[in-house]
Structure 1
Amino acid sequence: MSIFKACDIRGKFPVELDASLAYRIGRAVGTKLRGGPVILGGDLRLSTPELKAAVTKGLVESGCQVKDLGTVPTPVFYFALRRLTGHAGVMVTASHNPKEYNGFKLALGPMPVTEEDIQQIKQLTEEGNFINGKGKLESLELTEEYLQDTLAKVKPGKGLKVVIDASNGSAWSIAPHAFELMGYKVTTLNCEPDGSFPGHPPNPAVAENLQDLCRKVVEEEADVGIAFDGDGDRVGFVDNLGQQVPNDKNIVIFVKKLLSEHHGAKVVYDIKCSSIVPESVRDLGGIPLMEKSGYTFIKRRMLDEKALFGGEITGHFFYDHLGGGDDALYSSLLMAQILTESMESLSDLVREIPTYCTTPDLRIPVPGEQAREILTQVQGKLARYNPQTIDGVRVEFPEGWGLMRISVTEPLLTFRFEGKTPSDLEKVVNVFLSALPEELGQQVESRIRSLYRQEKKNQIA
């Protein structure tokens, strides 16, 4: 598949993305910007220095005035874009992806990039019709200003015990420092900077990656465990009992806090979230807005709707006072503030939220063109249920919902199902299975049976 994705540019280094291609991408971005000012940052990945130097060269030779933030978490990059209005931006990172990946997050104007923007960069990169100019490169330090701005938005912690797992990524220093400044008792895990991510893959949404954090929270008798991804824009939480908190329940916890202060506000959530999210938003007097999964889609909807808050099941949390953007450090400090103010444990807050029967993503390899044909066929077969089609096919029933969508990063069809009870889940799954080609339906059914077997093993253990 192409490295030019729906929301960014991302691929394996150096097989899919190398310094030569990074230079051409820099030239393409500079050409599209007509040599305007550009904020530049990079994460801790081992390939980032090489790719960053190459993309910088391309930008400068296209006439761009490049301001280099150095090695920073992505939220510092977004802060710089808010702070220095009129600047575009390039962040060298592959976010939560495994160590062999790298890429570029782009900001080309005040609104998030579109799929059309990314395709235009691809076309310019391939055709090579670049403008020439004499730009320049200068350093810019904004990390301390970002930190102080973030801390000013939250209240002190009054001694809560936190365990911070930075995944050996870009939040390795700033996150523990921020919590210590706010009065928390901090224990660190995987807070040594290492772009090979030796502790675990840098994705806090994956349960296996949080096993050490879960154990450490129990061992330290901590109030909360906090895990950041590789570039510090996603975050996951572990409760005081050492259990990972599902991100849709984290969204509900944030919504309870924010809607209590802004009754009637809009909340954006991604299409893969549990029904407990829109139900909770409505119960709290808010207006839930479903959106396609992906950073740029959620942020654009936040801005278009003037929404208060947005949540994505991957661990991105968005705020109106951050220009509609996300920030894992701010989100983690806000969660700690909620725990301080509530006088309840995180496990208690989670227990108050209903639990429905929801499958994880079921990922079935299907070539791109075939996947699109199957999706169209399934949409037709399920037409009587009035499916939503903002991202694949999603059908809602009184007792749950089912979702089938094409992966934007791999040649896969992904499925996700939810029922309020196990029997409700079975009903929802059966409706979708009846609409699928026989072989694909058997694969989906096999994955679900495997999940049931694993769940029973876990219960016995």
Structure 2
Amino acid sequence: MKRNLFKAYDIRSKRDNFDDETTLALCHAIAYYMIHDVKTYSIVVGRDTRVGTEAIMQKALEVFQASGMTVYVQLNAIGSCQFYYNCMQRPKSGGLMITASHNPGSYLGMKLVAPEVQSIAKNCGPKGGLQTVQKYYDEELLCNTRKGGTIVPLNTLDAFIDYSMKLARVPAKSLKGLPVVCDFLHGSNGEAISRALNHCGVDGTYLHLVPDGAFPCGDPNPGSEGSTAEVRQYLLDHPTDMCFVYDGDGDRMDLLYRGRQLSPCFVMGLITDELTEMFHGYFEKPEESFNPMFLFDIKASPALLLSQIHQGKKVSLVQNGHSYIKDALLNNKGNHFLAAVEESAHYYLQFPQSIGDWMSPLFASENTLFFTLLVLKAYQKDPRRFDEARILQDSTWRQREWSAMIKEEGKRNTLQKAIEDRIMAMGAIKVTTNKLGENLNATLLRYNLPKSYDDGATLRTPWFQVFQRVSQSEDALVRWEVLASDEKIGQKVLEEMAKAMKMIE
């Protein structure tokens, strides 16, 4: 039995750890959890293009069917967003997506969802979520054999594309002639995105479109400079305003606007008006009185947040982690929580099962095809707003997120405390909760910034913000990011952080 497979949000490890014995034990643990704790006898199964996903899928089908479950399965490789769509259309079923997302090609993994597309993670999901699955795995429980199990092959690509185009209100040929570059990094969502964009009439250039689980470009991570070197060079040689880069399973969407990243939070800021107008009916509110809540990554630029507030939007910070964010949306439909974004290029929304049916159930989920289309429609309508967003983004200084592996817990704690002490000595205030009183599961060290992002808040210079947290998905990894009003004060912050880091070397 292999250990250290269970992370905060999923099951993930090096491919070598998914041997036949381990895979069989995992599938039994999942089947037992779905039947006995989730109380469902049906499950949706999908996989991405990674080497080894086929063997895991085959074993899962055998175990689930033998356990008496109805298994809805897309046999070919698909993106996670199409998998979530398949779950939305079968809301009484659980779900298993075999993927390791943006991790190196040497990794394999599993994402789980409960009925209603509810995330399953540690301490998230029915009866303890992933911790309960891990308990069954450790105990080597075997699910009883039952009659009645069946396998139902699916082919939902056309339906997924049609749903996404209709929801985004982007009809066929409506983006005719618009130049668009996409880099799929050999991941599994290229077919869905490229087919949809062709339907919409774009003048598309599709790099690394063919799925390849070896990921020859490097880690399938749109945030990796090495993996995106080719597309950046292509944009230098063939300047194009709109370029999207996706990760291995297609649930991350990074926008390179005129060759440089436009931060995901700024991208969300460009479409909040459209989302508000589109979704008022699903919340049974007149358009003129519907003012939903948008959740932004705790690393979001204060300049962006204040610009949204000054436009009349309601915003709040949210802690990182797809399961937590989806749960926050799920549990706050009555409070009109509509959408969320992470700086890792994950976008979330209350997706309706049926478009145009105001009584349709809503599911907190992800769909990068929908967001790609919506962003392109916004650009086609008014490209100047993208220039304005870039100017606002460039008006501040940013040291993008970096990390360090510190295996000793005591050493990690000492370093974080030393950084806090030095930055607070500069006048910063420590923030660990949002304005709703919810734990951010991270520390923000903020100087000369408003206490909360509400009406009347203003941005005074100079200011800075330091983000610090221990990763929930990578063992012993500490992450940092710095935002500042200008490079001078930003470099001063980095100098103080470097002094703290030298203390523990």
CA offset digits 1:170-217 (Å, max 9, x no partner): 122221111010111111110112111123421112233223223333
Alignment equivalent of 1:123, drawn from 125, 135, 138: 135
**Partner residue, 1:22:** 23
Structure 1 length-normalised TM = 0.87
CA offset digits 1:97-143 (Å, max 9, x no partner): 11101100100233222312111111110102333133332212222
**Partner residue, 1:338:** 378
Partners of 1:324 and 1:428 in 2: how far apart? 37
Deviation at 1:254, TM superposition (A): 2.9
The residue correspondences of 1:7-86 to structure 2 (distance < 5 A) are 7-14=9-16, 16-34=17-35, 36-70=41-75, 71-86=77-92
Partners of 1:364 and 1:345 in 2: how far apart? 37
1:11 maps to amino acid: S
Identity among equivalent pairs (%): 21
For residue 195 of structure 1, give the secondary structure of its aligned residue in structure 2: coil
Q: 2:121 aligned with 1:114, yes or no?
A: yes
2:48 maps to amino acid: D
Partners of 1:275 and 1:404 in 2: how far apart? 16
Deviation at 1:69, TM superposition (A): 1.3
Partners of 1:189 and 1:164 in 2: how far apart? 6
**Partner residue, 1:393:** 443
Change (3 A) 1:168 1:345: farther
Structure 2 length-normalised TM = 0.80
CA contact (8 A) 1:88 1:109 kept: yes
CA contact (8 A) 2:270 2:385 kept: no
Unaligned runs of 5+ in 1: 444-461
Unaligned runs of 5+ in 2: 124-128, 279-286, 353-362, 433-438, 449-462
For residue 245 of structure 2, give the secondary structure of its aligned residue in structure 1: strand
**Partner residue, 1:449:** none
CA contact (8 A) 1:319 1:326 kept: yes
CA contact (8 A) 1:160 1:223 kept: no
Q: Paired residues, what number?
A: 438
Instruction: Identify which range, 389-398 or 89-98, moves more after superposition.
Output: 389-398
Deviation at 1:10, TM superposition (A): 1.0
The residue correspondences of 1:33-432 to structure 2 (distance < 5 A) are 33-34=34-35, 36-70=41-75, 71-110=77-116, 111-116=118-123, 117-134=129-146, 135-154=149-168, 155=170, 156-240=174-258, 242-255=259-272, 257-258=274-275, 264-306=291-333, 307-321=337-351, 323-344=363-384, 346-347=386-387, 349-353=389-393, 355-367=395-407, 369-370=409-410, 373-374=413-414, 377=417, 381=421, 385-388=429-432, 390-398=440-448, 399-408=463-472, 409-426=474-491, 428-429=493-494
CA offset digits 1:392-449 (Å, max 9, x no partner): 3222221121122112213222222221112332454566667x57534xx7xxxxxx
Change (3 A) 1:280 1:297: farther
Partners of 1:305 and 1:368 in 2: how far apart? 38
Deviation at 1:301, TM superposition (A): 1.4
Deviation at 1:251, TM superposition (A): 2.7
Deviation at 1:220, TM superposition (A): 3.9
For residue 199 of structure 1, give the secondary structure of its aligned residue in structure 2: coil
Partners of 2:442 and 2:388 in 1: how far apart? 35
Partners of 1:419 and 1:380 in 2: how far apart? 17
CA contact (8 A) 2:184 2:209 kept: yes
CA contact (8 A) 2:299 2:481 kept: yes
1:64 maps to amino acid: M
Instruction: Identify which range, 38-47 or 403-412, moves more after superposition.
Output: 403-412
CA offset digits 1:235-270 (Å, max 9, x no partner): 111223x22323332233233543577763211122
1:291 maps to amino acid: V
For residue 365 of structure 2, give the secondary structure of its aligned residue in structure 1: coil
Partners of 1:201 and 1:151 in 2: how far apart? 29
2:141 maps to amino acid: N
2:340 maps to amino acid: G
For residue 390 of structure 1, give the secondary structure of its aligned residue in structure 2: strand
Partners of 2:479 and 2:317 in 1: how far apart? 18
Partners of 1:232 and 1:225 in 2: how far apart? 15
CA offset digits 1:139-182 (Å, max 9, x no partner): 12222111111111232213201112111111222211110101
Change (3 A) 1:352 1:401: closer
Deviation at 1:39, TM superposition (A): 0.2
**Partner residue, 1:451:** none
CA contact (8 A) 2:304 2:392 kept: no
| Structural RMSD (CA) | 2.6
Partners of 1:273 and 1:2 in 2: how far apart? 32
CA offset digits 1:59-81 (Å, max 9, x no partner): 33333221111221111110111
CA offset digits 1:21-72 (Å, max 9, x no partner): 2221111111111161000000011111012222333333333221111221
CA contact (8 A) 1:223 1:346 kept: no
Partners of 2:384 and 2:269 in 1: how far apart? 15
CA contact (8 A) 2:419 2:496 kept: no
Instruction: Identify which range, 348-357 or 413-422, moves more after superposition.
Output: 348-357
CA contact (8 A) 2:50 2:213 kept: yes
CA contact (8 A) 1:25 1:58 kept: no
Instruction: Identify which range, 182-191 or 218-227, moves more after superposition.
Output: 218-227
Deviation at 1:302, TM superposition (A): 1.9
Partners of 1:406 and 1:258 in 2: how far apart? 33
Change (3 A) 1:189 1:379: closer
1:403 maps to amino acid: F
Partners of 1:223 and 1:425 in 2: how far apart? 29
Partners of 1:396 and 1:54 in 2: how far apart? 50
